[in-house]
Amino acid sequence: GEDVEQSLFLSVREGDSSVINCTYTDSSSTYLYWYKQEPGAGLQLLTYIFSNMDMKQDQRLTVLLNKKDKHLSLRIADTQTGDSAIYFCAESKGSGGYQKVTFGTGTKLQVIP
Amino acid sequence: DAGVIQSPRHEVTEMGQEVTLRCKPISGHDYLFWYRQTMMRGLELLIYFNNNVPIDDSGMPEDRFSAKMPNASFSTLKIQPSEPRDSAVYFCASSQTGRMNTEAFFGQGTRLTVV
């Protein structure tokens, strides 16, 4: 299957850490991504992780991958009001030149000042 | 490059009318995708092209939907006739072969309202 599932909504206080979770079903996924969609805009790639990695850190962002459980998470440290957006988890698989990307339904993050 | 450009940004039309959405991908990108985003169904892939050729249109909801890519710098998504349930934000995205992480670059979307 190609389902990518996320919870729909997360609310956190400014300064706290946010953890957005995602589960996927395809064990042959090669890359997993987190995209951010700000209001009225398209999706933008935030970060990605190769499937043979467990963790990737990029400034305030930490991505954790548990391949056994097919679970991906995005942790945002010191969450700011500007982090309020919809966050999409996505997976890709395939060989050769193209990897088909499947997106989750998105998690809306609300940051309370 | 200016990024993926979509037009119009907003479209309001009456039920039964034909609607045409337009997209200009990033120069040099050989993959183009059309997505639809709604509150109920999230982000859905409708169709994608490689080198102007439609590869997978299994996400196109009905025969009322059609997409073309006459050249590497232009694509259209047409709905004829439109219905209120087609109201959504339609995104175009492009990407480039050979990049291992296959980042997709999205346009700003067209918000379609069918009344």
Chain A residues touching residue B50 (CB < 8 angstroms): 98
Q: Mean pLDDT of all residues in chain B?
A: 92
pLDDT value, residue B101: 60
Which tokens hold the place of A14?
């400014």
* % pLDDT > 90, chain B: 76
N residues, chain B: 115
Which alpha helices (H) appear in chain B, and where do they start and end?
none
Q: Mean pLDDT of all residues in chain A?
A: 89
Task: Tell me which residue in A88, A92, A106 faces B102 most closely, judged by beta carbons.
Answer: A92
Pairwise CB contact (< 8 Å): B101 & A48:
yes
Task: Tell me which residue in B91, B97, B98 faces A42 most closely, judged by beta carbons.
Answer: B91
pLDDT value, residue A38: 93
Over 70: is that where the pLDDT of A95 sits? Answer: no
Chain B residues touching residue A102 (CB < 8 angstroms): 45
Pairwise CB contact (< 8 Å): B108 & A40:
yes
Task: Name the least confident of A75-89, A95-109, B44-58.
Answer: A95-109
Chain A residues touching residue B108 (CB < 8 angstroms): 40-42
pLDDT digits (tens, 9 = 90+) for B44-67: 889 999 999 998 899 998 899 999
pLDDT digits (tens, 9 = 90+) for B7-31: 999 999 999 999 999 999 999 998 9
Over 70: is that where the pLDDT of B100 sits? Answer: no
Minimum distance, in Å, between the CA of residue A58 and any CA atom of chain B? 16
Q: Which of B21, B23, B22, B26 is nearest to B2 (CA)?
A: B26
C-alpha B108/C-alpha A63 separation (Å) is 26
Chain B residues touching residue A9 (CB < 8 angstroms): none
pLDDT value, residue B114: 97
**CA angle centred on A15, ends A11 and A19, rounded to 5°:** 50
Pairwise CB contact (< 8 Å): B102 & A43:
no
Over 70: is that where the pLDDT of A101 sits? Answer: yes
Determine the residue of chain A that is closest to B6 in CA distance: A42
C-alpha B14/C-alpha A73 separation (Å) is 42
Pairwise CB contact (< 8 Å): A42 & B107:
yes
